[in-house]
Structure 1
Amino acid sequence: MADDDELEGIHRGWGRRLLSTGKIAASAARLAARRVVGAEGPQDAAIGETLSRELDQMKGMAMKVGQILSYFDGVLPEGTHRALQSLQRGARAVSFTRMAEVIEAAFGEPVDALFDRFEREPIAAASIGQVYRARYRGREVVVKVQYPGIRETIAGDFSRLQGLAKIASLASSVDGPALVEELRARFIEECDYQLEGDHQNTFRAAFADDPQVEIPAAIGQRTRETVLTSEFCEGRDFYTFAAEASQARRDEVALCLTRFALRSLYELGMVNADPHPGNYLFPARDAVVFLDYGCVRRFDAEFLAAQRRLTRIVIEDRRADYDDALVAAGMVAKEKGFDFDLQWKVDCHLLAPYRTPRFHFTPEYVRAAMDLNRPGNPNLRRIAIPPQWIWVQRLQFGLHAVLTRLSAEGRFADAMHEALAMPRRPAA
């Protein structure tokens, strides 16, 4: 258990956070160079531990970046992946004394008066808060408590990013400030645990008819903006499940994860856009527990209709209809000089799991997807990125990375066709 100095890493000024960012960038550059020349080895784990230590201390936005890197196969060496996986559970915790102050400020009562029992050691320490076991009115629960001052730290980080985004926009057709504002809005929403509890119960109600999906109820009486109390769910974590389960069971789970993501997008018009391995549990029964509804994005009908049309065109191999659909979706900032054939190739690869009756997710597939979007792609200076679109891409890349970790194989095209055929029924 770390002492209160852990908070200093969260609250440190921009200059000191920038120095930490420099250390992180240097470590990442060393890994990338070693990856390119095929010089992977024992040092990769040590570099990964350096990255993990710095990102964990900074928490917030920086730690989320590390979480994303930790589950993308083919992007970083395996030794680095293993070192970064601790970020999905959190490696170092803030003292209970400081976290109890957050709970007491939220409810105006001492912790022991609010719960039948409250364990002092956290079971997880994440990017913006810590999770504890407790008992409330005879029910086993988990209580997520926000780090003191994390909202202000995130807001400060994004205020500096806006200036950088304006400069970056000069060299591309992407509206950098609009994207940063979109990201800022979602990150700030993640700091509102009351809103997260509402999202959690909305998804729970929407998937109540699916026996393979389990979502714990958020308990409103013990939830506030900085404290979220939910039902306790048991199950193996993702990496234990991936190591112990049969390939047949992993394939079943992969289809469950895919159907959950696609149904959320096309039927409910909203997604939980943070599909990293730490947000799943696997109970003994044939179900998946879906956790963490802080990063939820709702989409308007026009955006979803354009995405649905574009996806259908790609998976149905209708090349002749593609150019107009891409422009209509707001994805092309400058038609002159835009290489539609190249972008067709990119989208066909990204949607490859849904263009064939059966598909096997491999690290090579994920690596090729990354390669297609590297700086050498001439369309990067002409493509537009609607702010809503980044969450669809985060969901897709994150989901595919998780399925790759499962070495999943199955009829993912069936799941896509089912979702596209669903009428839109926006969640309340």
Structure 2
Amino acid sequence: MQSKSVIEEATPKSYLTQDATCFQDASHSKPSVQIPNTMENKPQNSIPTSKVERAARFAKTGLKVGGNYVKHYARKIVDKNLTQADLDKENAADIYETLSKLKGSALKVAQMMSMSEGVLPSAYSEKFKMSQYSAPPLSYPLVVKTFKEAFGKTPTEIFDAFSKDAVNAASIGQVHQAEKGGRKMAVKVQYPGVADSIDSDLKMVKPFAMQLLRLSEKDLDLYMNEVGDMLKSETNYLEELQRSEKITQACADIKGAFFPTYYKEYSAERVLTMDWLEGVHLDAFLASNPSQEIRNQVGQTLWDFYDKQMHELQEVHADPHPGNFLFTPEGKVGIIDFGCVKKIPADYYPKHFKVMDRDNLVEESKAETLFEELGFLLPSDTPEERKFFVAVFRELLLLTTTPFEGDTFDFGDDAYFDKLNEFGERLSKMDELRNSKQARGSQHALYLNRTYFGLYFILHELKSVVSVRSIWFEKKK
């Protein structure tokens, strides 16, 4: 879903999506930017913030989903043509409606799950993808309240102009446009109660995630703990400002990339202000039918941006969903939202990237040693289990590291992505994985893998042909 800019008529190609929130004081005499609400969703006047309120809302959804099952199978007696997809569609709509009203961590998990094709049933994937671009925004009076708590002033007392309506709204907050001293700015404001409800939200969403992702409880616990830690970091906008400045300065030399300037004087723990970037999201960019040259150009920019972070900074923008990138007609890429940044521990870094050396995977003895280092193999494994997991992880890693085999890779190759999806489907049905009593692998791999798969997905959508020689190989020389 593409939500349009607050100044759509004046600059029809201006879009911005970030996890943020903002509002406005209509009673203040200073005029604000009066922009029609172009968002499809109606603003919320309140958001449940207490654990009891949020749990009750989620429990009600659980009952509704249960009712959908009863209705579905009752209708199926009469209509034999009803399918599981019909039931998935009803359940996905009900779950997404609740998550989008609760916002915060629960909606963030839905956003993350929607990024990988084949992970969710298609009805859920399509519905949850809405959170990548736009969720129902909060009403303006709540934005004013947040500003007063942060600065003791309303938005229009701080800025020369401030849009009453949110431009975009996502899982953690929403974005408004502002002006100050002739500069156009984007202002992120966090939803009330998001930071305080992370742990309880993740506990609530866990049963649904287990069922949808078809993961064992042990694996999901590892995942949820890492997600919780990252979300707690992501909800402090002053920390995000510091991370943003550090990474954007370090990556300023990436050809084709551009970044906003951040304004500490107009930022606080729950409010973040930066330059407004011009560009369009991925879906609108692709709809403009860019040439293959431009597709390759923007794909190369994204690849170089992530390769440098992984192997020089060892600190990476780990939220590569399409809403965090803006594309221009001439093939430049604006990169925003450094709330989710994964620091790669120095002792884990060399172990994780050894898989890029094919020799470590092709030779079974080397693969076993590496898999022990990575925690894929456990001391308690029987010989049969050990043989099974070596085979599974070798196949997985040989497949996922295929792009690194040559000097270039065509991410438009549908056959390769079909193989990824087919293997993922097989993995989800393996009883040995589902019934494993211990999680395998490191929690540090979760966001690194998510980053690469998110990047692969975007490059596949772009159908980019990319030079994939990594800094990792240069460092080894």
User: Would you call these one fold, judging by a TM-score over 0.5?
Assistant: yes
User: Displacement of 1:221 after TM fit?
Assistant: 1.0
**Which residue matches 2:329?**
284
Describe the shift of the 1:73–1:157 C-alpha distance in structure 2 as closer, same or farther (beyond 3 A): closer
Deviation at 1:423, TM superposition (A): 4.6
The answer to whether 1:269 aligns with 2:314 is: yes
Q: For residues 45 and 189 of structure 2, what CA distance do their matches in structure 1 show? A: 18
Question: Which residue is equivalent to 2:452?
Answer: 396
Are 1:15 and 2:56 counterparts?
Answer: yes
Distance (Å, rounded) in 2 between the aligned partners of 1:58 and 1:328: 40
Aligned residues of 2:374 and 2:441 also touching (Cα < 8 A) = no
Secondary structure at the aligned position of 2:272 is classed as strand
How do residues 132-143 of structure 1 correspond to structure 2 at under 5 angstroms? 132-143=176-187
Instruction: Compare 1-10 and 342-351 and name the one that shifted more.
Output: 1-10
Deviation at 1:147, TM superposition (A): 0.9
CA contact (8 A) 1:223 1:229 kept: yes
Q: Which moved more, 1:331-340 or 1:279-288?
A: 331-340
Using the TM superposition, give the Cα deviation of residue 118 of structure 1 relative to its aligned residue in structure 2, in angstroms.
0.8
Shift of 1:259: 2.4
State yes or no: 1:240 paired with 2:284. Answer: yes
Give the SS at the match of 1:130. Answer: strand
What is the deviation of 1:99? 1.1
Q: Normalised by the size of structure 2, how large is the TM-score?
A: 0.75
Q: Residue 234 of structure 2 aligns with which residue? A: 190
2:34 maps to none
What CA deviation, in whole Å up to 9, does each residue of 1:72-107 have, x standing for no partner? 334557676554443222231111111111012111
Q: Alpha-carbon deviation of 1:270?
A: 1.1
Distance 1:157-1:40 versus aligned 2 partners, 3 A rule: closer
Identify which of 409, 423, 435 aligns with 1:358.
409
Give CA-to-partner distance per residue, 1:228-248, whole Å, 9 cap, x none.
Answer: 001110101110112222344
- Indicate whether 1:231 and 2:231 are aligned: no
Matched, 1:418 2:418: no
User: Could you give the per-residue CA deviations for residues 304-355 of structure 1, whole angstroms, max 9, x where no partner exists?
Assistant: 0111223224688454421111212233224432221222011111222223
Q: 1:150 to 1:358 in 2, by over 3 A?
A: closer
Gaps of 5+ in 1: 31-36, 166-170
- Provide, for residues 34-63 of structure 1, a one-character-per-residue CA deviation record: whole Å limited to 9, x for no partner: xxx996989877665444423311211222
Q: Which deviates the most, 154-163 or 48-57?
A: 154-163
Q: 1:307 maps to what in 2?
A: 352
Query: Could you say if the C-alpha distance between residues 26 and 73 of structure 1 is closer, same or farther in structure 2, counting changes exceeding 3 Å?
Result: farther
Residue of structure 2 equivalent to 1:213: 257
Distance 2:208 2:329 in 1: 48
Computed over aligned residues only, the root mean square deviation of the Cα atoms, in angstroms, reads 3.5
> TM-score, length-normalised on structure 1?
0.83
Q: Distance in 1 between matches of 2:252 and 2:369?
A: 39
1:135-189 per-position Cα deviation (integer Å, ceiling 9, x unaligned): 1232111000011111122232246689999xxxxx9795765543322111111
Other structure's SS at 1:101 match: helix
Distance 1:211 1:83, change over 3 A: same
Q: Which has the higher contact order (CA 8 A, sep 6+)?
A: 2
Equivalent residue of 2:357, what SS?
Answer: helix
C-alpha distance after superposition, 1:98-131 (max 9, x if no partner): 1111012111222222111111111001111110
Give the aligned residue type for 1:109.
K
**Does residue 1:368 correspond to 2:412, yes or no?**
no
Q: Contact 1:67–1:87 (CA<8 Å) still a contact in 2?
A: yes
The corresponding residue for 1:33 is none
1:294 match: secondary structure = coil
Rounded to whole Å, the distance in 2 between the matches of 1:369 and 1:258 is 24
Greater mean alpha carbon deviation, residues 12-21 or residues 148-157 = 12-21
Q: Distance in 2 between matches of 1:201 and 1:260?
A: 15
How many residues align structurally? 408
Match in the other structure for 2:338: 293
Q: Bigger radius of gyration, 1 or 2?
A: 2
**Aligned runs of 1:99-178 on 2, under 5 Å?**
99-158=143-202, 174=218
Cα–Cα, structure 1 residues 16 and 81, in superposed 2: closer, same or farther, change >3 Å? closer
Q: Distance in 2 between matches of 1:295 and 1:373?
A: 27
Q: How much does 1:13 deviate?
A: 3.0
Q: Deviation at 1:392?
A: 1.2
**Which residue of 2 is the match for residue 168 of structure 1?**
none
C-alpha distance after superposition, 1:240-266 (max 9, x if no partner): 112222344223322322222222112
